[in-house]
Structure 1
Amino acid sequence: MPADESKCVLDAYLSYRHRSVDLAASIVGCRAQAEDLVHDAFVKIALTHRPELEIRHPLAYFLQVVRRLAIDTMRQRNIRKTSDIADQGLEILLADPLTPELHTSGREELDAVEQALAALPARTRRAFEMKRFEGLKLREIAIALDISVVRASQLINDALLACQNVLDSADPRT
């Protein structure tokens, strides 16, 4: 990055840091995390900017990078949250039932989940199996299925959603 462009981005970072943190905090809901995101945005720009590209509006550019990093952080948080909920649901399903009624109910729910998984496209089902039953990481699944890590996560979330939908429709309390 030419010295004058790096100075413009640095000036935007220093002069509008508070505004940038406010923007990130409004998205992620945590001021401390927002501070980290603003710093990460500056580092990202400093390390990845190509000299042949001119930054005409350094403040707008910087705020856009902050905004995108904050949104990506929220997406990752939502993916982890969905996975945690699904893990809890599967643990409950696989727990040792205490009564014959619970055993029957649990068996019916497990059958419904098996049917939901069987109805999924093969790649979606395989990604889910690799994650839940084989314990592979998203990166390993992505490599095995020749897809991106984000797509692997989407496939797993699709499978989890299908399982959750079938359980919700079978639950008389909902």
Structure 2
Amino acid sequence: MKDSEQILNVYLSHRLHLVDVAAGIIGCRARAEDIVQDAFIKATLVQKKGTEIQRPVSYLLQVVRRLAIDFLRFGRIRNEIDVADIAVQNLLCDPRSPETYVGNREELAIIEGVLASLPDRTRLAFEMKRFGDYKLREIAVVLDLSIGRTAQLITDAMAACQAALDNAAPRN
């Protein structure tokens, strides 16, 4: 059996277990599916370079774990739904009704209030990332922080905005 067929057979026969492992780490089954597919591609590329994989099941499990941990470290910032951008886009869209317009304005006011209440570095990091389109490393240099700490500040701001929107009185 060719090496590529061996990896394919292992992938197909253990895919559900690999997805379970990734989902257990990141907490999202849909993204876990992506991680498992990425792991398969990485394993295939390693074999194409001529490297023999002795224990393909163990190898794929390790790649899945590492990709899932990398997602937790770095992916959340890149893949997080930006509630502030959604509120701004909703405001700029042609509203279907006056109620929608008012609701969008209320959401934007909530986000503005949350941002004003955040510590300066947290607010500045969030604004630089979301409105200034700066990269994490650029923000980290400006704020004299590590990239990890900068990412955490942005995540904290995002979580504060989302929590405020979730706690706002529902619109009728």
Of residues 58, 63, 67, the one that matches 1:66 is 63
Deviations 1:76-135 (A, max 9, x none): 443333245553344224434454433333322222211111111111100011012211
Is contact 2:87-2:107 (8 Å) kept? no
Q: Which moved more, 1:122-131 or 1:103-112?
A: 103-112
Of residues 99, 102, 109, the one that matches 2:100 is 102
Is contact 2:18-2:61 (8 Å) kept? no
What residue identity is the alignment partner of 2:33?
Answer: G
Gaps of 5+ in 2: 1-5, 23-31, 48-57
List 4+ stretches of structure 1 deviating above 6 A.
39-42, 61-64
What residue identity is the alignment partner of 2:133?
Answer: G
Of residues 109, 121, 137, the one that matches 2:119 is 121
Between the two proteins, the alignment pairs up a number of residues equal to 150
Partner Cα distance (1:73, 1:159) in 2: 21
Of residues 141, 150, 153, the one that matches 2:151 is 153
Structure with greater Cα Rg: 1
Partner Cα distance (2:93, 2:146) in 1: 33
Partner Cα distance (1:116, 1:78) in 2: 21
Partner Cα distance (1:69, 1:41) in 2: 16
**RMSD, matched Cα:** 4.0
What residue identity is the alignment partner of 2:67?
Answer: A
Partner Cα distance (1:111, 1:167) in 2: 10
Asked if 1:112 corresponds to 2:110, the answer is yes
Name the CA shift for 1:89/1:110 in 2 (closer, same or farther; >3 Å): closer
Name the CA shift for 1:88/1:108 in 2 (closer, same or farther; >3 Å): closer
Partner Cα distance (1:41, 1:88) in 2: 40
Partner Cα distance (1:111, 1:86) in 2: 10
Partner Cα distance (1:131, 1:109) in 2: 20
Please give the TM-score of this superposition, normalised by the length of structure 2: 0.62
> Deviation of residue 37 (structure 1)?
4.7
State percent identity of aligned pairs. Answer: 41
Partner of 1:29: 33
Gaps of 5+ in 1: 1-15, 43-60
Equivalent residues in 2 for 1:56-95, closer than 5 Å: 66=63, 68-75=65-72, 76-84=74-82, 87-95=85-93
Q: Which moved more, 1:121-130 or 1:161-170?
A: 161-170
Please give the TM-score of this superposition, normalised by the length of structure 1: 0.61
Give the secondary structure class of the aligned counterpart of 2:80.
helix
Q: Which moved more, 1:161-170 or 1:120-129?
A: 161-170
Partner Cα distance (1:41, 1:149) in 2: 29
